[in-house]
Amino acid sequence: MSRDRTSVLTRRQVQDLSRLRLAPYLVTTLYLDVARSAAGGRQGTLRKLVRDAKTRLGGRELTRKQRQSAEEDLATLDRLVRDARARGARSICAILASGSDYEEVVDLPHPVKDRLVQEETPYVRPLAAMLNDYPRYLVVLIDRSRARFLAAHLGRIQELQLLSSDVPGQVRTGVHRGRGNMERQIERHIDDHVARHVKATADAARQLFGERDYDLLIVGGPGEPVTDLREALNPSLRPYLAGEVAVDLAAAPEDALAACRVLIGEVNAKRDADLVEWLVDGVESSDLAVSGTAATLGALRRGAVATLVMVEDYEEEGAECRSCGFLSLEEGTCPACGREGGLRKVAYLSAEMMDRAANAGAEIRHVTTEPAARRLRAMGGVGALLRFRLV
């Protein structure tokens, strides 16, 4: 049984979801852009998705139990969307199978293409593409006798484990002659215990980092233990150290996350700046990148996109052919299949483009920080790093 709202998502979790089978029941997967409900149409969108899903179910050969589970899934979606709207979710991915009492909801930070799929396994390709957009951070907070491990991802933080070591208390300074040597021996004894604690913390960090598929490491706590921890980190882990934060080990998870946000913002700004620089270089020098909506659509059609890059607030109206799925900036006759009036308006071309990129196995990256976002907007707000040159 699983009924959960995932707070921190890893590649391994997505891989596990891709292999999830809850036989004999179908698994229902919903992607829905929740935040646009204020503009109207989201409830209508869900109703249409459910109505179409019921029609498809009607044409499938299913046992009574399979059909009952799939229909219960569809009835549950309205509650999940209401809950998501109440907590302010941008978009959601909901995976459920009522017959197996399985339900998992992942809040997503960007628009998604609205989609409802009922198959033997969850439809996780959009989730896998979005993972590349958001680094997963292992956060290690340490003092002289304790260490706390947390995971930060998609703007949330999750407790992992607490490590406690048996370290004697501090020595009081002696006032009697002859006690200095004993006190120094005790201090060395305490320092040895602290050093063992730091090493145990470094070993645990290395193990967690490898086991749970993190991208970057953050350390924090009072000064000296953090410095010692940085020095004790395994050489294989040091390249992934994003930096250090000043936060008390006993801080609430939300306070720890707030302390990490400034550092995460700096890391994201560097990633965004590098990404846009690669895009500019590819457009101007190597022909291994394109910018602007029209050129990016052309690269998507040819399967040339390795990484789709867009500013967070990129929005563009466009059109999709109802016959062959061709994407265009304008409505009218489809140039691909020739259907008159086949190209019909889609309000949010960005979601369609992300969906095509994900289906082609491309990475999807959003540029969220300045000045990189401003630079990308000047190029049309969207672009792509290419697998091969377009000739």
pLDDT tens-digit readout, 59-68: 889 999 999 9
Backbone angles phi and psi of 172, in degrees to 5:
-80, 140
**Contact status, residue 145 vs residue 195, Cβ threshold 8 Å:** no
> What pLDDT does 183 receive?
65
pLDDT tens for each residue of 12-35: 777 788 778 898 999 999 999 888
> What pLDDT does 235 receive?
92
> What pLDDT does 180 receive?
60
The sign of the dihedral angle between the CA atoms of 322, 328, 330, 333 is negative
Q: Is 3 or 61 the better-scoring residue by pLDDT? A: 61
Quick one: fold of 2-131? 3.30.960
Q: Choose the weakest-confidence range: 227-231, 290-294, 346-350.
A: 346-350
pLDDT tens for each residue of 320-340: 898 888 999 889 999 989 888
State the chain's mean pLDDT as an integer: 85
CA-to-CA distance for 46 and 34, rounded, in angstroms? Answer: 10
The sign of the dihedral angle between the CA atoms of 217, 127, 306, 385 is negative
- Please state the rounded mean pLDDT for residues 283-311: 94
CATH number of 269-386: 3.30.1330.30
Residue of 137, 96, 111 whose CA lies nearest to 45 = 111
List, in order, residues 6 or more apart from 267 with CB less than 8 Å away. 135, 216, 242, 243
Split at pLDDT 50, 70, 90, the class of 223 is confident
List, in order, residues 6 or more apart from 166 with CB less than 8 Å away. 145, 193
> What pLDDT does 354 receive?
84
> What pLDDT does 288 receive?
96
pLDDT score of 38 more than 50: no
**Contact status, residue 288 vs residue 165, Cβ threshold 8 Å:** no
> What pLDDT does 76 receive?
96
Split at pLDDT 50, 70, 90, the class of 55 is very high
Q: Is 309 or 3 the better-scoring residue by pLDDT? A: 309
- 58-67, Cβ contacts within 8 angstroms, sequence gap of 24 or more: 62/26, 63/24, 65/24, 65/25, 65/99, 66/24, 66/25, 66/26, 66/99
Q: Is 125 or 341 the better-scoring residue by pLDDT? A: 341
pLDDT tens for each residue of 158-212: 888 899 887 666 555 554 555 566 666 667 766 677 888 999 999 999 999 987 7
Split at pLDDT 50, 70, 90, the class of 222 is confident
The architecture that CATH gives domain 137-251 is 2-Layer Sandwich (3.30)
Domain boundaries, the chain: 2-131, 137-251, 269-386
Split at pLDDT 50, 70, 90, the class of 43 is low
pLDDT tens for each residue of 351-391: 788 888 888 888 888 898 899 999 999 999 999 999 999 87
> What pLDDT does 145 receive?
86
CA-to-CA distance for 318 and 133, rounded, in angstroms? Answer: 24
> What pLDDT does 307 receive?
94
Q: Is 172 or 309 the better-scoring residue by pLDDT? A: 309
CA gyration radius, the chain: 26
pLDDT tens for each residue of 232-287: 998 989 999 999 998 888 888 888 888 888 888 888 899 999 999 999 999 999 89
